[in-house]
């Protein structure tokens, strides 16, 4: 028995053994990273499926004729800026500057709301023009175009909505005085992940 415990301690002390805190993070932050990895795999599947569809499609509509690139650029700007103020909110929260953290959290929420509102506007007009999940009015022989659009931006938009709920919860808790820098950082990680996903959709769906 003694020998077994000694053996375990020897393994745990090794560089890959782990020990009590192998990743040097709180459990909450580590779980958020694990969640982000699994969520990223979902979006990897979407983007690869989109790539396959794009490569096998007989043609593809010109995105700048179907969408307003000004709106897309504005949405991208809003989301990147909200990601920046979120990072500042995390920095403020970790330094214990509560009022500053709350201010920047609200700015993040405003940025996210602008993005989501713009996306709702985009969807409204796209659907009004006749676009459906299975039907592409701009090029009826390529329904892959609208299918990819609705699935990718829909899933991303729902993530933005979820992120806003998480941020509202965090900021309300902060107003109540029940907050820690770690909690704000966990919400921030999710928010930055949403930004990362949009960077991919922006480049591969709208620009390529």
Partner 1 sequence: MSEAVHHGYGIYWKTWIWLLVMTTLALVVGSVDAMPGGLKALLLVGITLAKVGVIGAFFMHLRSEKLDLVLITFTPIILAIIFYFFIWWDAGDSTSRILTLR
Rule CB under 8 A: which residues touch partner 1?
A: 22-25, 30, 33, 36-37, 40-41, 44-45, 48-49, 52-53, 55-57, 64, 69, 73, 76-77, 80-81, 83-84, 86-88, 91, 95, 97, 134, 141, 143-144, 147, 185, 188-189, 192-193, 195-196, 199-200, 202-204, 206-208
Q: Which of the 8 DSSP states describes residue 206? A: I
Least distance to partner 1, CB of residue 131, Å: 14
Rounded Cα distance, 72 and 153, in Å: 12
Specify the residue, 88 or 110, whose C-beta has the smaller distance to partner 1.
88
Identity of the residue, 121 or 135, whose beta carbon is nearer to partner 1 in the bound complex: 135
The residue to which tokens 């782990």 are assigned: 18
DSSP 123-183: HHHHHHTT-BTTB-TT-TT-THHHHHHHHHHHHHHHHHHHHHHHHHHHHHHHHTT---HHH
CB of 2 to partner 1, least distance (A): 30
Minimum CB distance to partner 1, residue 123 (Å): 20
Minimal CA–CA distance to 105: which of 135, 80, 82? 82
Cβ at position 4, least distance to partner 1 in Å: 25
CB 57 → partner 1: shortest distance, Å?
6
Considering the complex, state which of residue 5 and residue 80 has its C-beta at the smaller distance from partner 1.
80
Instruction: CB nearer to partner 1: give 2 or 65.
Output: 65
Q: Per residue in 128-149, is it b (16+ CB within 10 Å) or e — as a string? A: eeebeeeebeebeebbbbbbbb
177: left (phi over 0), alpha (psi -120 to 50) or beta: left
**Which residue lies nearer to partner 1 by CB, 5 or 41?**
41
Query: Rounded to whole angstroms, how far apart are CA atoms 61 and 56?
Result: 14
């Amino acid at each position: 028995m003694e020998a077994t415990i000694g053996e375990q301690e020897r393994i745990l002390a090794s560089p890959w053994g782990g020990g009590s805190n192998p990743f040097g993070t709180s459990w909450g932050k580590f779980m958020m990273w694990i969640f982000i990895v699994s969520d990223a795999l979902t979006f990897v599947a979407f983007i690869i499926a989109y790539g396959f569809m794009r490569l096998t499609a007989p043609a593809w509509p010109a995105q700048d004729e179907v969408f307003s690139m000004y709106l897309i650029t504005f949405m991208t700007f809003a989301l990147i800026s909200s990601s920046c103020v979120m990072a500042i909110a995390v920095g403020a929260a970790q330094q214990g500057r509560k009022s500053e953290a709350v201010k920047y959290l609200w700015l993040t929420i405003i940025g996210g709301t602008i993005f989501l509102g713009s996306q709702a506007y985009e969807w409204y007009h796209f659907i009004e023009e006749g676009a459906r999940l299975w039907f592409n009015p701009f090029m009826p022989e390529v329904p892959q175009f609208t299918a990819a659009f609705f699935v990718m931006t829909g899933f991303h938009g729902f993530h933005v909505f979820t992120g806003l709920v998480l941020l509202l919860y965090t900021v309300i808790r902060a107003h109540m005085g029940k907050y820690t820098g770690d909690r704000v950082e966990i919400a921030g990680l999710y928010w930055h992940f949403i930004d990362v996903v949009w960077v991919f959709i922006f480049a591969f769906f709208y620009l390529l």
